[in-house]
Amino acid sequence: MVRMTNTFVLNGKEDPDEIVRNTKKGVYVAKLGGGQVDTASGDFVFGMTEAYLIENGEITEPLREGNLIGNGPEVLKDIDLLGNDFAMGGPGTCGKDGQGVPVGDGQPTLRVRSLTIGGTAV
């Protein structure tokens, strides 16, 4: 079975606070939950377990029950700012057909030009 293993995005040079200040309108995702990926197309959906609106360069209201929806290769091309604060995520599990494989991830703060957000209104 095709499985996720370890996923990392290397450090950039931007100050994470500047990334937020330079974002007029967006969503700040502090924590992702479970999700799915179509390994043939790269299409994905991941739950946002902690997320906030960014309005005029400031993190404002919390969002609830939202999902990030996109295509992995396209999202990687749409990263326009990378922070200098690389950190490892917590250990996780990639589950498929009743099997679980340990996985790891890490990334700095980053900004993606465009992603589809879906879920329950604030």
The answer to the question of residue 121 being in a domain is: no
Q: Is residue 122 assigned to a domain? A: no
Domain count, the chain: 1
Task: Tell me, yes or no, whether 55 lies in a domain.
Answer: yes
pLDDT category of residue 7 using cuts at 50, 70 and 90: confident
Residue 120 has pLDDT above 60, yes or no: no
The pLDDT of residue 97 is above 60: yes
> Does the pLDDT at position 122 exceed 50?
no
Residue 50 placed within a domain: yes
Task: Confirm whether 54 is domain-assigned.
Answer: yes
Q: Which of 23-32, 38-47, 96-105 has the lowest mean pLDDT?
A: 96-105
- Look at residue 73 and tell me if it is in a domain: yes
What is the length of the chain?
122
- List the domain range (segments joined by +) for residue 90: 6-116
**Residue 68, in any domain of the structure:** yes
Q: Which residue has the tokens 């939950």?
A: 33
What's the rounded Cα separation, in Å, for the pair 23 and 55?
8
pLDDT at 44: 93
Stretch 14-39: mean pLDDT, rounded? Answer: 93
Closest CA to 54 of 23, 78, 14: 23
Q: What is d(CA 99, CA 96) in angstroms, rounded to the nearest whole number?
A: 5
- pLDDT confidence bin for 119, thresholds 50/70/90: low
> Does the structure show a pLDDT above 50 at 5?
yes
pTM of the model: 0.85
Specify whether the CB–CB gap between 66 and 119 falls below 8 A: yes
Residue 19: predicted pLDDT: 98
Q: Is residue 97 part of a domain?
A: yes
